[in-house]
Amino acid sequence: MKRILRYAAWALAAVVAVALAACFWAYQVAMSRYETKWTTHAADFPIPFPLREDELAALSAERVAGGATASDPLRGVDPQALALARAVRRGEHLVDSRTGCKGCHGQDLGGATIIDAALVGRWVAPNLTTGAGSVTRDFTASDWDRAVRHGVRHNGLTSSMPVVDFVNLSDHELSDIVAYIRSLPPVNRDMGAVKLGPVFAFLIATDPNALGAFKIDHDKAHPVEPPPDVQSAELGRHIVQVCRGCHGENLSGGKLAGDPDMPIVANLTPHETGLKGWTEADFLRAIREGKRKDGTDISRMMPWQAYARMSDTELKSIWAYLQTVPPREKGNH
């Protein structure tokens, strides 16, 4: 009996030693990926974008119709102030309906804790406002580009930002988002650093693409302008990029790695296991009301309440684009 207990103790000690060694390995590999130094292309854009000639012409015509002098219809108008006001409105729409910034960074964008569990780790989204603890207070346009579209921190190292969703944001859209964020009341909140627990470490160590910076081409140019705001598959394709982080590059959904509590992600392709048989009205109801074609509820982990704030033009464009993607069986991402 003593011999059996001794063997059992040795076996347990061996298991513990292997587990500790594996954890040490995973932590070292994961940290090496977080500490990777990135060089990205130089990006710059105005914040806000100035009014275009056609916008100025439309404003002039509007003011003349309202009684302004035709020879100088913009007298007393501050084009820069007007451009900023328009940028803030557009940025607010993008943040509230399409980019999901508040889902991670908090409703006040002052930062939030996403996960804090001993075995998993501590994953936080930083304070984006100009208050104490802000990580963006002194950001230039290039800094915003690296953070949002490259997953690179101000010091040049890897961040946890899900940049795959935002890599195709245009300069103008990002500029509008920044204008909106800068317009918000400052929040004094220091979120601290991300901390790796065993689960986070193993996920990052075993999946080279777990961090978005490793998945994208850092030399690829970004569009300056988004597609025109008219109903089209082109606009839908542009918007749908933010869906690929969960639904996959092929939009066919399946199980997400790393979080056992996450539901199976839906297949958005026109396959029998996806949206085959759905109509545009079914799709609009799903986003507006959180109801599938069969009437069952869509999980609130899918941020349909935010997407419901998109315009009919945006949602119908998404539907038009989804009709063009190849059907794929659910689970192939």
DSSP string, 176-193: HHHHHHHHSPP-------
Nearest-CA neighbor of 146 among 197, 213, 67, 73? 213
CB 190 within 8 A of CB 112: no
Mean confidence (pLDDT) of the chain? 91
Q: What is the pLDDT of residue 261?
A: 65
Q: What is the pLDDT of residue 285?
A: 97
Q: Say which amino acid occupies 88.
A: V
pTM of the model: 0.91
Strands in 118-270 per DSSP E: 121-125, 195-196
Cα distances (Å, whole numbers) of residue 103 to 67, 131, 159, 250, 305: 45, 19, 17, 23, 11
Query: 241: pLDDT confidence band, cut at 50, 70 and 90?
Result: very high
Cis status of the peptide bond prior to 48, with omega within 30 of 0: yes
pLDDT tops 90 at residue 19: no
Query: 7: pLDDT confidence band, cut at 50, 70 and 90?
Result: low
Q: What is the pLDDT of residue 245?
A: 87
pLDDT tens track for 109-148: 999 999 999 888 999 999 999 999 999 999 999 999 999 9
pLDDT tops 90 at residue 12: no
SS3 at position 273: coil
pLDDT tens track for 68-99: 888 888 888 899 999 999 999 999 999 999 99
Q: What is the pLDDT of residue 257?
A: 64
How far apart CA 90 and CA 96 sit, in angstroms, is 10
pLDDT tops 70 at residue 6: no
Share of the chain above pLDDT 70, in %: 93
Q: What is the pLDDT of residue 333?
A: 64
Q: What is the pLDDT of residue 291?
A: 96
How far apart CA 141 and CA 119 sit, in angstroms, is 37
Kindly state the average pLDDT of the residues 140-159. Answer: 95
When mean pLDDT is compared across 180-184, 241-245, 321-325, the lowest value belongs to: 241-245
How far apart CA 130 and CA 188 sit, in angstroms, is 8
Q: What is the pLDDT of residue 13?
A: 67
SS3 at position 132: coil
Q: What is the pLDDT of residue 101?
A: 95
Query: 165: pLDDT confidence band, cut at 50, 70 and 90?
Result: very high
Q: What is the pLDDT of residue 50?
A: 96
H or E element that contains 116: strand 112-117
Kindly state the average pLDDT of the residues 227-238. Answer: 97
Q: What is the pLDDT of residue 8?
A: 65
pLDDT tops 60 at residue 203: yes
Cα distances (Å, whole numbers) of residue 225 to 37, 164, 228: 29, 18, 8
CB-based contacts of 115: which residues, under 8 Å, 6+ apart? 121, 122, 123
**Domains, the chain, ordered by start:** 1-65+78-223 (no CATH), 227-333 (1.10.760.10)
